Amino acid sequence: MTDLGADREYASRLSACPACDAAPLAARIADSAAARGDLVLSLPTAHCAACITDVERALLAQPGVRAARVNLTLRRVMIDAPGREATDFIPVLEGIGYEAHELDASALGPTAADRQGRDILMRIGVSGFAMMNIMILSVAVWSGASGATRDMFHWISAVIAFPTVIFAGQPFFSSAWASLKGGRLGMDVPISLALILATSISLFETLHSGHHAYFDAAVMLCFFLLIGRYLDYRTRAVARSAAAELTALEVPRAVLLRDGAEQVVPLADLRPGDMIRIRPGARVAADGEVVTGMSEIDRSLLTGESLPVQAGPGMMLSAGEVNLTGPLDLRVTAAGQDSSLGRLTHLVAMAEATRGRYASLAERASRGYSPVVHLLALFSYGLWMYLSGDWRVALNVAAAVLIITCPCALGLAVPAVVTAASGRLFRRGLLIKDGTALERLAEVDCVVFDKTGTLTMGQPELVSLDDLPDTLRPVAHAIADASGHPLSRALAAALKGAGVPIAPLDQAAEVPGFGVEGRWQGLRVRLGRADWAGDAAQEPVDADGPVSLLSVEGHAPVLLRFVDALRPGAAECVAALQDQGRRVMMLSGDTAAAVASAAKALGIDEFRAGVTPAEKEAEIAALAQAGAHVLMVGDGLNDTAALARAHVSISPASALDAARAASDMVLMGQDLQPVAEAVALAVKARRRIKENFAISFGYNVIAVPVAMAGLATPLLAALAMSASSITVTLNALRLR
């Protein structure tokens, strides 16, 4: 097991109770990120790696800005600038061509994202339909049509192509115009210039009865470029902010006790020292200490603990936990952003905004694209003006250079592979949310699993039914059926499956924090904690799994043992990962005995029990600091920060929304074996990505000199560009 050493010292707790392993959460977040100095602006038009560089450079040049980080997935930038206002930076970003405003959740919501996707698809449909019609018209010209017949076909093509280019090319034109207004040359500038030149030259040739028009090239450019843009959009649109999911768990109002009377107040009005009431079934609104009441608390959201824990006076609770059985009065110690849930939310937001060393190969390659393409096209124009003295020839050559170097193949190199690989993985039950996840997954050398709900099903099963006498089974069924506790439900399900009837039971009642009791034929019946249901002096039983005690007055108590069943394919998945030479670990908030038992059954040598959310995130950070590329597989709220911090992450579909949102992939079925298959496939996918880049690079090495030599018309350039895109796509489809 890894020793965190000094990295664990950060666990100086900023929580309700430093001694409680469920509440403390990452004090270093408060110390490092200057929470009070963070401003958040949304950037609706940011879409590529160049946008990140431009925005961060412009903001860091402003006085008082200590840090600025762009989260491209969420299209927002976090600015650490104490004492500054958001209005100070909006004009700065608008000055370099980026729309910016204070964070507006509705602008980033699913509705806006869906509209954007539909808009791109509509433009793809229009350009594709127009392209097919123009290509049919072009066949006649290629076949030798001349004179008035050729001119007629050119004019018909112009009528179709001109409005199509204006409509379908609007995303590129808008982005290019914004870049030029900001004094930059973004990737969309040469694309827009190529579209304008191809269309303009074609119109000029048509007006002067020229032999060649390139309307099909212009529309084809729009079609393939929009496909690349949509693939990129889809990889980003499915990712939602895990921090937003965590924020949604906050209770908006709390029941404040003032002079013995209940008063519902907004959460923002709570202050340390206030008394609040937590009703059964309600989520704990703030960190605090239980003053009165007995209940059971479901803290699986924060700790991964598979079973509820007893809560009574003096116990510290954390925001986000759920009160199950009895009312509790709580003295607030921290609320809102200062609560455990608030700190976890901030922790996840910072982890999401942190970019690792590994960036998309496509983004890295594209940074030098625009200046090189413009220089080559300008050089070609000048050279041919000097050699021929004909501006039409020179302009045709320059347009051919711009078109033939169009980054369609480059843009499809990664999305085409991701699409092919994601289709294969989807058929195996894995959904990829992030387009770069496969690239990062190929680098994984360490896999960290959560236990409850990930390696196990998170559902206790009775394993000691034979220990329960036949005479007591009907009453056991009755008392278990009267309780909503997970162990009671498991007992009732086992007895129902065995065909055991339910005995008549009187006065059945839940005793918060202890169990359930009732009367059967005048005898007292109890089911619950061993030290309550049996002898009051009896110590809790130390077992490999959860236990419950059934006591019927006049009969010997019966100890019922449960296990959390392993997830199907878990053992095979662990074995396959180990066979691939990858390190496998297990981190769980469950008890030491339960974790050790699961680790033994799965063949995992490195494991830790009783791990808090902050400790999980710290463990992942420590592994990364040591040079490991970590795959985190988890399902609970307690795993969310670790999922966001990991190099790549996977969560089951049964996981909480926050965990699924923080992960890069979602396991749709129960079988865990596709996780190991995904790691192996990722290595193949990365190889295909590199092959696609080699194809794209080799294509440009050959095609650019041909275009600059004047041996390719804009139409031939468009066909060559399309051929490179198709080649890249076919190579990617080999993964299927």
Assess whether pLDDT exceeds 60 at residue 65.
Answer: yes
Which of residues 232 and 651 earns the better pLDDT score? 651
From residue 508, give the alpha-carbon distance in Å to each of 328, 420, 515. 22, 57, 11
User: What pLDDT score was predicted for residue 180?
Assistant: 80
Per the structure block, which two tokens stand in for 479?
A: 């008392």
Is 450 tagged catalytic?
yes
Longest dimension (CA), the chain: 112
Looking at the DSSP bridge assignments, the partners of residue 258 are 261
**Which alpha helices (H) appear in 185-339, and where do they start and end?**
188-207, 215-237, 242-248, 300-303
Q: Are 548 and 562 in contact (CB under 8 A)?
A: yes
Residue 547: pLDDT over 60: yes
Q: What is the pLDDT of residue 108?
A: 38
Query: At 176, is the pLDDT very low, low, confident or very high (cuts 50, 70, 90)?
Result: confident
708 Cβ partners below 8 Å, 6+ apart? 376, 379, 380, 383, 397, 401
In the predicted model, what is the mean pLDDT of residues 323-352?
Answer: 74
User: β-strand 665-667 against 295-298: which pairing, if any?
Assistant: unpaired
Global model pTM greater than 0.75: no
The pLDDT score that the predictor gives to residue 330 is 93
* Residues 170, 411: Cα–Cα separation, whole Å: 18
pLDDT reading at 14 higher than 60: no
Read off the pLDDT of each residue in 669-681 and give the average, rounded to a whole number.
Answer: 87
Q: What is the pLDDT of residue 658?
A: 62
Three-state secondary structure readout of 73-128: CCCEEEEECCCCCHHHCHHHHHHCCCCCEECCHHHHCHHHHHHHHHHHHHHHHHHH
pLDDT tens for each residue of 132-157 = 888 787 776 666 667 777 778 878 88
- Can you give the pLDDT at residue 582? 93
What distances in angstroms separate CA 141 from CA 6, 134, 159, 208, 397, one per listed residue?
75, 11, 16, 16, 21
Name residue 612's amino acid.
T
Q: What pLDDT is stored for residue 660 in this prediction?
A: 64
What is the mean predicted confidence (pLDDT) over 110-123? 71
Give how far the C-alpha of residue 75 lies from the chain's centroid of Cα atoms, to the nearest Å: 14
Range scoring the smallest mean pLDDT among 242-246, 443-447, 655-659:
242-246
Q: Which residues pair with 77 in a beta bridge?
A: 41, 70
Amino acid of residue 322: V
pLDDT of residue 501: 92
With a cut of 60, say whether residue 40 has pLDDT above it.
yes
Spatial distance between the Cα atoms of 589 and 304, rounded to a whole number of angstroms? 5
Paired tokens of 387: 């050699």
Question: 3-state class of 292 per DSSP?
Answer: strand
pLDDT the model gives residue 676: 92
From CA 649, how far away is CA 581, in angstroms rounded? 19
pLDDT band at 116; cut points 50, 70, 90: confident
**Residues recorded for the chain:** 736
Report residue 598's pLDDT band, with 50, 70 and 90 as the boundaries: confident
As a whole number of angstroms, the distance between CA 679 and CA 663 comes to 15
Only one residue has tokens 């992939």, namely: 665
Has residue 593 got a pLDDT over 80? no
The single residue of 450, 481, 639, 664 carrying the catalytic annotation is 450
> pLDDT tens digits, residue range 339-392?
877 766 664 555 444 443 333 455 555 556 667 777 888 888 888 888 888 777
End-to-end Cα spacing for the chain: 38
Q: Which DSSP string corresponds to 312-374?
A: -TT-EE-TT-EE-SS-EEEEEEE-GGGSHHHHHHHHHHHHHH---S---HHHHHHTTHHHHHH
DSSP secondary-structure letter at 283?
Answer: B
**Percentage above 70 pLDDT, the chain:** 74
Q: What is the pLDDT of residue 605?
A: 92
Which span out of 177-186, 507-516, 674-683, 718-727 was modeled with the highest average pLDDT?
A: 674-683
Q: What is the pLDDT of residue 573?
A: 93
State residue 10's pLDDT score: 32
* 604 pLDDT higher than 50: yes
pLDDT digits (tens, 9 = 90+) for 393-407: 787 788 778 777 766
CA 688 to chain centroid = 24
Reply yes or no on whether the pLDDT at 492 is more than 80: yes
- Confidence at residue 585, expressed as pLDDT on a 0 to 100 scale: 94
Confidence band (pLDDT; 50, 70, 90) for 528? confident
Instruction: Compute φ and ψ for 127, nearest 5 degrees.
Output: -65, -35
Kindly report, residue by residue over 209-264, the tens digit of the pLDDT: 777 777 877 788 788 778 766 765 664 444 344 445 455 556 677 889 988 788 88
**For range 585-601, the mean pLDDT:** 83
Average per-residue pLDDT for the chain: 76
Distance from C-alpha of 57 to C-alpha of 52, rounded to nearest angstrom? 8
Which residues, in sequence order, are CB contacts of 145 under 8 Å at separation 6+? 153
- pLDDT for 280 beyond 70: yes
* pLDDT category of residue 200 using cuts at 50, 70 and 90: confident
Tell me, what's the pLDDT at 689?
A: 78
Mean pLDDT of 524-543: 68
Quickly state the pLDDT bin for 419 (edges 50, 70, 90).
Answer: low
Q: How confident is the model at residue 274 (pLDDT cuts 50, 70, 90)?
A: very high
Q: What is the model's pLDDT at position 654?
A: 62
Q: How far is residue 721's CA from residue 452's CA, in Å, rounded to a whole number?
A: 51
If residue 549 lies in a helix (H) or strand (E), which one and from where to where? strand 547-552
Contact assessment for residue 592 and residue 611, using Cβ atoms and an 8 Å cutoff: no
Give the least confident one: 66-70, 273-277, 331-335, 424-428: 424-428
